[in-house]
Structure 1
């Protein structure tokens, strides 16, 4: 039971890290909204995490180093990636930052971050309750 709690908390921690990184990337995009030729960045994380969670139910055991791994990578190996968005252009100077889109993404990310903080705080409150009730 305790391993399951900490595994769940680890996923929430990774999601918090990704939300923090996404906030920094969005702020960087907004700061460069008037820079000629600037191409915006985005953070990719949720799809990789989803794939790792779905594949974590079936994992093959490697008995030798030369054997191929069966199943997806561990959830511990999932990391948010910063990707540059090219090919699109919003203005004549080559900049592709849309301020309305960035501000919407920022608001959405702040809401997600706050929800994740509340969720992880709830997990630790549960653990604290279990510890305190066990003392009685």
Structure 2
């Protein structure tokens, strides 16, 4: 019996993505004036699609063994090599990074609100609806 639904695991992976995205954005902003620094970005959609297609399932040698499945979903960080904004080889667009940071913060807040709602529902069920 699962105590938590798949929604909790989906929200957990989405929060991992958001945290990684914020870390990458912060690194890009911090290296805005670093010569030859290449901006990084986070790709979650392509990795998520691969993970949906490739789920690891354990082989059971006896019916009494527990069955489990797992899918390792981790956002992929990659360098943006196709653009150049500064003469020193740096390709960080500070305006785009600040915009991405604000968008990511809103996304993070929505995920936290949804997670809090799920925990509130779970707490209500545990207390018997009181």
TM over 0.5: same fold? yes
**How high is the TM-score relative to the length of structure 1?**
0.76
Match of 2:78, SS?
strand
Q: 1:87 deviation in Å? A: 2.6
1-structure distance, mates of 2:58, 2:38 = 43
Q: What residue ranges of structure 2 are gaps of 5+ in the alignment?
A: 61-68
Stretch of structure 1 that moved more, 101-110 or 121-130 = 121-130
What is the number of equivalent residue pairs in this alignment? 123
Q: What residue ranges of structure 1 are gaps of 5+ in the alignment?
A: 64-72
CA offsets 1:24-51 (integer angstroms, 9 cap, x no match): 1101100101111110011111343255
Matched, 1:36 2:35: yes
Residue in 2 aligned with 1:14?
13
Q: 1:131 deviation in Å? A: 0.8
Residue in 2 aligned with 1:120?
115
1-structure distance, mates of 2:119, 2:125 = 10
C-alpha contact 1:52 1:74 (8 A) present in aligned 2: no
2-structure distance, mates of 1:45, 1:61 = 25
Match of 1:133, SS?
coil
C-alpha contact 1:15 1:116 (8 A) present in aligned 2: yes
Residue in 1 aligned with 2:48?
49
Task: Tell me the C-alpha RMSD between the 2 structures.
Answer: 2.7
Q: Where do 4+ consecutive residues of structure 1 move more than 4 Å? A: 58-63
Instruction: Identify the structure with the greater helix proportion.
Output: 1
**How high is the TM-score relative to the length of structure 2?**
0.79
CA offsets 1:70-126 (integer angstroms, 9 cap, x no match): xxx944x11111111113111111110001100000000000000000111111111
Distance 1:59 1:38, change over 3 A: closer
